[in-house]
Amino acid sequence: MEKVSLSVAIITKNEEDNLRPCLLSIFFAEQVVVIDSGSTDATLKIAEEFGCEIYSEEWRGFGPQKQSAIEKCRLPWILILDADERVPALTVEIIKKIVTDPQTPEAGFSFPRKNYFQGRWIRHAGWWPDRIVRLFRKDAGRITSATVHEAVEVEGIVGALAFPIEHFTESSLAKILRKIDKYSTMGAYEAYKEGKSSSIFSAFTRAFFTFIQNYFLRLGLLDGRQGLTLAVTDSVNKFFKYAKLSELIRINRGGKK
């Protein structure tokens, strides 16, 4: 198949269930860089099957990991993807048009992201359009250094495309709980470095209002049982992030764990 002058950067760890459809959706990219941080499943085999350039690196946080991936990209345009994301056919065509047109004035582009959870497109509680910058010129973009909630920074004009990227977020409740533990820990350390304060009471208050906001004020209730599950898991994540921050503060002040 005809390739275009585009590099795609992906970070992975145990993504065998997601990586194949992701790579199939970017068949048109000339270069695909995969930074892996210790996969023990078939992730690396799948990446090799698709001819990806694979690098094994220790985990340093989302921002540093993705920045390492884009530094290994050699083509003029870079697309950042997560392994559980897909590029639909119409979006493929607009990306191909952008990167092959020498008159494209923009330095980067944002996409709306269609998030699917347990088989349902989630349209409320801030999950749609969930606009994100993912396509940018190599000499104009970088990833923020945040270990969690990283973002692409672009120097220059950023266009807003109407064509989406699809995101099939984790639907297994057991895996979601493990992710909450991981993300809340990273978020707590990030907040601690920023000098934020917290207590168990404030952690509960934040979690309670997060649920009220997402489920009622932002109409997550219209997304059925999936909307309720997401509102609960988001509030639980919020509670543990700030409860862990409170614990970090206590420990570093010499208090008991």
Residue 14 three-state SS: coil
- List, for residues 6-64, the tens digit of each pLDDT value: 999 999 999 999 999 999 999 999 999 999 999 999 999 999 999 999 999 999 999 99
Cβ distance 105 to 157 under 8 Å?
A: yes
* Per-residue tokens: 36: 């892996």
DSSP one-letter code for 200: H
pLDDT value of position 147: 85
Confidence tier at 146 by pLDDT (50, 70, 90): confident
Structural domain harbouring 186:
173-252
Confidence tier at 257 by pLDDT (50, 70, 90): low
Res 183 pLDDT > 80:
yes
What's the CA gap between 154 and 39, in Å, rounded?
31
**Domain end: 110, 137, 168, which one?**
168
pLDDT value of position 192: 96
pLDDT value of position 48: 98
Confidence tier at 174 by pLDDT (50, 70, 90): very high
What's the CA gap between 53 and 189, in Å, rounded?
32
In a domain, 257, yes or no: no
Q: Is the peptide bond before 88 cis (omega within 30 degrees of 0)?
A: no
Q: How long, in residues, is the chain?
A: 257
Q: Are residues 133 and 216 part of one domain?
A: no
Backbone angles phi, psi at 169, to 5 degrees: -70, 155
Confidence tier at 135 by pLDDT (50, 70, 90): very high
In a domain, 140, yes or no: yes
Cβ distance 109 to 134 under 8 Å?
A: yes
Q: Are residues 181 and 150 part of one domain?
A: no
Confidence tier at 134 by pLDDT (50, 70, 90): very high
pLDDT value of position 2: 86
In a domain, 43, yes or no: yes
